[in-house]
Structure 1
């Protein structure tokens, strides 16, 4: 999303489309949009050993549906922010899209660095979407790399990515075509996908749309079948970036429903909510529609934007969520409410757990609480993250049995060494003290590793 805008490019698009192009945040315009319906595809037998596509859905290797709920993180520009993945996970995300560079425009991320970021994703129980950002705006931005150059970079990383198919999705290139002749996007996209398959990659591959990712002229929508059929494995997912082009509910629902009706896999790979000079994206419809259709979404972006209204957290601090961050993580259809951890890490929609919560002692402006986590399943739970939300502004001051992180009302807890394993049919108990101000209602919902627990 770090992009320059040129006056010439803006004027050219104004003439051709009666709209205004923005640096991956294209202003809304109403050119004639081709409405040719996408023809349904016969599902291809997946060949991937891990994350793969079947009948238009992203599945894990065990066949369980996986719906991405996460954010983008600008690793290549902020390589020192190594705590970010843990912070993103603690707020409930199950996926992070990591910005990388192939060295064409920014400092190249080495194989060692990519291996380390994948290891961090796995350590934090996140699915890792890796993308090359140098392709942004190709054809309109002279500094951009081609998809072919991005494919060569991935091939150079094959030794560190092979075997990671359960954990890694390869997003060939970010927003790999600008607004100049966007129809030119199709052939290079097909060629890049086939180049990776011919090199032996079995990962799920993600492809971004032209028009700075927003597919203003429906090139990706119209040519999706051609691109999908060109992948010999069928393990390809389309990514639409939704900014100010998508400022009405109709535009959002029409676009996403077209892919779902055709059994073509799609997710919202970037989206923004705050309004600015280019328009006011309808993030509420984006998130609600993604949840209704069980499609993934990845918000832009964690922190460090040159346009700070797009920061989810200020200065990479998870305790300083912006209004945008509060909306994405804790609002309706947000990450805390809808994210489910990948089953490769032991998560899923059924956590097999019951959580008991009680106030053990209470005084003027404080109280002592107790949380008991019961494993109702037949296998031990090793390593866990508990999530819940306070209702009345309570703030934890100390905890034993776990380590809390609190962002506003949302609390996530990771275990101490002696509570890290919850035996089958067993339980662990956490204690804490907290500040309160007046009413002290108990949390009404708890999640364990992203799965909803019963209460009682």
Structure 2
């Protein structure tokens, strides 16, 4: 009797499995690269990814790469934003050099955010279009690396505090990149040298809609205007997130030309709201902006600001988690 019961139980279980086989949900396939969904960025393993890292001034210190990248990795950073040039203002970083940068960053288990710096503060569309054409010219370095390379189209393009013209520019730029076969997650800096987040609040949804892949996120640069105090930092983050847009703080310092920056608030709300941030910058700022240096050289010791960002409350050491591919 016991044997018969076991037989029938086994048979019924097998029949149920067979009957339900066609109705089982297929196993989710891994994505080919980073992707934006709502207010979050996800890596190719499907894990939410929150950037924690620094900006590396590579284009002005090209010979320091092999020193700077390991030193940045040693902070625990999961991301490094690399300053590149398309040659219109600074010395061009060619295809071979960009491939080398990506390989080195990857070796040290960080995600590379690449940006073109020549368009900084410019208002003319040609400057933005030059950045787009640069990405297209080096797309062989980007295609196939969507799981480890993110494209910050143009650093602080559109210096004027005007959202509509800023948006019109990106509504042309993004489709051009997509039509060229570039599928990497894109980052768009706010207008007003990155410090006018109202441009994202007012027009970010329409800029995202111009991306056929809906794989664009937005960046505020928090200095003395966008990051001046706790209330401003909190409101600027929330106002973008409340629009259903993905956000990072692509640059921030501890102070700037016209006032203080509340870096503690940036790190606090970055953790609380799951917003990524990348401090400016590892080293090499001009003497009048040396307070922005995080280290005394490409592989030098940490400055006071650097120590705050790396070892402070809500800093890199406490909050950085590597991308799923690593």
Query: Do they superpose with TM above 0.5?
Result: yes
1-structure distance, mates of 2:46, 2:97: 31
Alignment of 1:339-378 (within 5 A): 339-345=320-326
Scaled by the length of structure 2, the TM-score of the pair is: 0.87
The structure with more helix, counted as a fraction of residues = 2
Equivalent residue for 2:217, pick from 226, 237, 241: 237
Helix, strand or coil at the partner of 2:271: helix
Is the counterpart of residue 259 in structure 1 residue 243 in structure 2?
Answer: no
Q: How far has the Cα of 1:180 moved from its partner?
A: 6.4
Is the counterpart of residue 288 in structure 1 residue 272 in structure 2?
Answer: no
Equivalent residue, structure 2, for 1:64: 47
For the 8 Å contact 1:189–1:227, the answer to whether it is kept is yes
Is the counterpart of residue 85 in structure 1 residue 69 in structure 2?
Answer: yes
Q: Structure 1 180/255 Cα, relative in aligned 2: closer, same or farther at 3 Å? A: closer
Q: Which runs of 5+ in 2 are unaligned?
A: 1-29
Structure having greater relative contact order (Cα 8 Å, sep ≥ 6): 2
Equivalent residue, structure 2, for 1:354: none
Q: How far has the Cα of 1:247 moved from its partner?
A: 1.1
Is the counterpart of residue 208 in structure 1 residue 189 in structure 2?
Answer: yes
Q: How far has the Cα of 1:314 moved from its partner?
A: 0.7
RMSD over aligned Cα atoms: 1.8
Helix, strand or coil at the partner of 1:211: coil
For the 8 Å contact 1:252–1:285, the answer to whether it is kept is yes
Equivalent residue, structure 1, for 2:151: 170
Q: How far has the Cα of 1:182 moved from its partner?
A: 5.3
After the TM superposition, which segments of 4 or more aligned residues of structure 1 sit over 4 Å from their partners? none
2-structure distance, mates of 1:243, 1:324: 14
Equivalent residue, structure 2, for 1:137: 121
2-structure distance, mates of 1:145, 1:175: 14
Q: Structure 1 56/182 Cα, relative in aligned 2: closer, same or farther at 3 Å? A: closer
Helix, strand or coil at the partner of 1:314: coil
Helix, strand or coil at the partner of 1:58: strand
Equivalent residue, structure 1, for 2:137: 156
Helix, strand or coil at the partner of 1:61: coil
Scaled by the length of structure 1, the TM-score of the pair is: 0.62
1-structure distance, mates of 2:246, 2:138: 25
Alignment of 1:293-442 (within 5 A): 293-306=273-286, 307-318=289-300, 320-345=301-326
Q: Structure 1 277/122 Cα, relative in aligned 2: closer, same or farther at 3 Å? A: closer
2-structure distance, mates of 1:214, 1:206: 15
Helix, strand or coil at the partner of 1:344: coil
For the 8 Å contact 1:48–1:202, the answer to whether it is kept is no
For the 8 Å contact 1:215–1:221, the answer to whether it is kept is no
Helix, strand or coil at the partner of 1:202: coil
Q: Deviations over 1:386-425 (max 9, x none)?
A: xxxxxxxxxxxxxxxxxxxxxxxxxxxxxxxxxxxxxxxx
1-structure distance, mates of 2:240, 2:195: 15
Aligned residues: 294
Equivalent residue, structure 2, for 1:433: none
2-structure distance, mates of 1:210, 1:50: 27
The structure with more strand, counted as a fraction of residues = 1
2-structure distance, mates of 1:343, 1:48: 12
Q: Structure 1 289/301 Cα, relative in aligned 2: closer, same or farther at 3 Å? A: same
Helix, strand or coil at the partner of 1:81: helix
Helix, strand or coil at the partner of 1:255: helix
1-structure distance, mates of 2:126, 2:291: 27
For the 8 Å contact 2:161–2:196, the answer to whether it is kept is no
Is the counterpart of residue 94 in structure 1 residue 63 in structure 2?
Answer: no
1-structure distance, mates of 2:206, 2:322: 32
For the 8 Å contact 1:49–1:202, the answer to whether it is kept is no
Q: How far has the Cα of 1:121 moved from its partner?
A: 0.7
